[in-house]
Amino acid sequence: MRVVVDFDLCESNAVCMGIAPEVFEVRDDDFLYVLQEEPAEELRPKVEEAVRRCPKQAISIEG
Amino acid sequence: MDSIAVVGASLAGVNAAATLRAEGFGGRLVLVGDEIRDPYDRPPLSKQVLAGTWEPDRIALPVDLDDLDLEQHRGVRATALDAAARTISLADGGEVAVDGIVLATGATPRRLPGATPTGVHMLRTLDDALALRAALDADPARVVVIGAGFIGAEVAATCRERGHEVTLVEAMDWPLARVLGEDVGRLLAGVHEEHGVDVRLGVGVDHLEADPLGAVRAVHLADRSVIESSVVVVGIGVTPAVEWLEGSGLALDDGVVCDEALLAAPGIVAAGDLVRWPHRGFGEVLRIEHWDHAIESGRAAARRLLAAPGDAVAFEPVPWFWSDQYDRKIQLAGRAAPHDEAVVLSGSFEEQRVAVAYRRGDRIIGVLGVNRPRQVVQGRMLIERGASWDEGLALGDGA
């Protein structure tokens, strides 16, 4: 599983960080950082939820 | 339960339908929606769609209705419900009889009293947004926005960014003060003024003046000032769309009155803007009009409908919303009012970048952020687990 963020769409609402803080972090500079681009499979449900709940539909999963 | 109807085909209804299927419901699933269009996402309407940077195909909801095996009644309004019989009457004369019902008809924009001249817009649907966009494309000399709530403030910001002259009229002393407090209201008014908006606070609208052809020509305010304008946007809030439920047997009180797990009557649940329910975590009866709530309550209502007796789970989300105005992102997780204490965690109102925590009793109940998304989401996680006020205050450390 590979996490892809479209940073042109991302508005740093930080919803993903609330759902999967292991993978997504909005830092104090207001930018989103992907902490693990290829997270472990057990994180898939959380990442999928983050994909669904992103207000900008900026996150996708490859693989 | 062999058949379920979801009434309302926007964010709450579509999430309810998708959840019913995801949870294994294999029976007849009916979706009733009063718009012909495919379901779409509303937040971009006042921003990217109005700005003209996004076209309608960009805001389709990320759900494929074909996958859900639905019996669809689109472009058809539900006109009545018999709650005991679980029968829904449709505007086209049809009738839907089912075992379970999800009520998700949303809310309707409030109108100014009196006749509405042409050139007066509201913004709720995609068609509304496209009509307003077309009016702006004709390059009016000035746009008057009535109401500085979220919709009005976002419309004003988008109109300024498009280069229009804008007057923003708000009857209260400060924008959004009832929801977010006076400090935030003052900040937001300042942001709009700095961007060149003519902000008129604490003054109501007396009447709209129309020309002989019935087109709006000016807005007359209660202080006798007159603002000439051919494009007026009314954003004075919404009311839950429950008229069609009068006489249904359901309890209505500014929404559909539900239990703590969103049940309105046996076999009938509600979701989205129209649900009024007791939130156990906050000890308040709430009705919430935000995007995230539509998703969360749509899912929870669907699960409640399918739950075995005794398995119902109380709906206790931490509400969350955002509003984008110019380069400011306003977010609130949890509740801002009523509170016992409000403390600035980081930043300041003066720099228009601030995080504020709200205390009720010994708990943190809310975090408000202006360009502080990190602290808002951290606050949301704390509130979700019922964290203490001291833990909440620690959010300010190192920020």
Q: Summarize pLDDT for B35-92 with one digit per residue, the tens.
A: 999 999 999 999 999 999 999 999 999 899 999 999 999 999 999 999 999 999 999 9
Query: How many angstroms separate the CA of residue A15 from the nearest CA in chain B?
Result: 7
Name the amino acid, one letter, at B278.
Answer: P
Task: Say whether pLDDT at B239 is over 60.
Answer: yes
**CB–CB contact B331 A13 (8 Å):** yes
Count of helix runs (H) and strand runs (E) in chain B: 9, 27
Q: Is A26 on the interface with B (CB under 8 A)?
A: yes
d(CA B178, CA B199): 18
Question: What is the pTM (predicted TM-score) of this model?
Answer: 0.94
Q: What are phi and psi of B177, to 5 degrees?
A: -65, -30
Q: What is the token pair recorded at B329? A: 């992102």
Residue B383 has pLDDT above 60, yes or no: yes
- Interface contact A14, partner B, CB < 8 A: yes
**Percentage with pLDDT > 70 across chain B:** 99
B381/A18 CB distance under 8 A = yes
> Is B373 in contact with A12 (Cβ distance < 8 A)?
yes
Q: Do A28 and B374 touch (CB under 8 A)?
A: yes
Report residue B177's pLDDT band, with 50, 70 and 90 as the boundaries. Answer: confident
Measure CB to CB from residue B373 to each of A21, A30, A52 and give the nearest one.
A30
Residue A28 in contact with partner chain B when CB distance is under 8 A? yes
What residue in B sits closest to A16 (Cα-Cα)? B377
List the end-to-end C-alpha distance of chain B, in Å, as a whole number: 52
Judged by a CB distance cut-off of 8 A, whether residue A55 touches chain B is yes
Residues of B in Cβ contact (< 8 Å) with A12: 329, 373
CB neighbours of residue A1 within 10 Å: 15
DSSP letters, A12-45, are ---HHHHH-TTTEEE-TTS-EEES-SS--GGGHH
Region B328-357 average pLDDT: 95
For residue A11, what is the nearest residue in chain B, using CA coordinates?
A: B329
Q: Is there a contact between B374 and A57 if contact means CB atoms under 8 Å apart?
A: no
Which whole-number Å values give the CA distances from B84 to B5, B62, B99, B269, B383, in the listed order? 15, 34, 10, 13, 38
CB distance from A53 to chain B under 8 Å? yes
Name every chain A residue with its beta carbon within 8 A of the beta carbon of B322.
13, 55
For residue B305, CA distances in Å to B142, B143, B184 come to 49, 46, 39
Residue B321: closest C-alpha in chain A: A13
pLDDT of B249 over the 90 cut: yes
**Is there a contact between B62 and A52 if contact means CB atoms under 8 Å apart?**
yes
pLDDT in tens, B123-148: 999 999 999 999 999 999 999 999 99
What is d(CA B30, CA B98) in angstroms, rounded to the nearest whole number? 9
Nearest to B374 among A14, A53, A55 (CB): A14
Q: Which of B324, B374, B376 sits opposite A27 (nearest CB)?
A: B374
B376: chain A residues, CB-CB within 8 Å: 14
Determine the residue of chain A that is closest to B331 in CA distance: A13
Residue B328's closest chain A neighbor by CA? A11
Smallest Cα distance from B248 to chain A, Å: 34
What pLDDT does residue B398 have?
A: 59
Kindly indicate the confidence band of residue B396, based on its pLDDT and cuts at 50, 70 and 90.
confident
Q: Where does chain B have alpha helices with state H?
A: 11-22, 48-51, 126-137, 150-161, 177-180, 182-194, 291-306, 373-384, 389-393
Beta bridge partners of B231: B143
Among partner residues A13, A52, A53, which is closest to B373 by beta-carbon distance?
A13
Best interface-test mutation with B: which of A6, A8, A11, A12 has the largest number of B CBs within 10 A?
A: A12
Judged by CB atoms closer than 8 Å, whether chains meet at B371 and A30 is answered as yes
What is the pLDDT tens value at each position of chain A, 63 positions in all? 999 999 988 999 999 999 999 999 998 888 999 999 999 999 999 999 999 889 888 999 998
| Distance in Å, alpha carbon of B194 to nearest chain A alpha carbon | 22
What is the model's pLDDT at position B399?
55
A45 and B CB contact within 8 Å: no
Q: How confident is the model at residue B217 (pLDDT cuts 50, 70, 90)?
A: very high
Contact: B331, A28; criterion CB under 8 Å: no
Q: Indicate whether B174 pLDDT > 60.
A: yes
Mean pLDDT is lowest, of B1-5, B174-178, B189-193, B298-302, for B174-178
- Euclidean distance between CA atoms B365 and B335, whole angstroms: 6
Mean pLDDT of B378-384: 94
Evaluate whether ipTM surpasses 0.90.
Answer: no
Q: Which residue of chain B has the CA closest to A17?
A: B377
Say if strands B328-334 and B363-370 run parallel, antiparallel, or are unpaired.
Answer: antiparallel
Q: Residue B286 in contact with residue B279, Cβ under 8 Å? A: yes
pLDDT bin (cut points 50, 70, 90) of residue B325 is very high
- CA A34 to chain B, closest CA, distance in angstroms equals 14
CA distance B89 to chain A (A): 33
pLDDT band of B354, cuts 50, 70, 90: very high
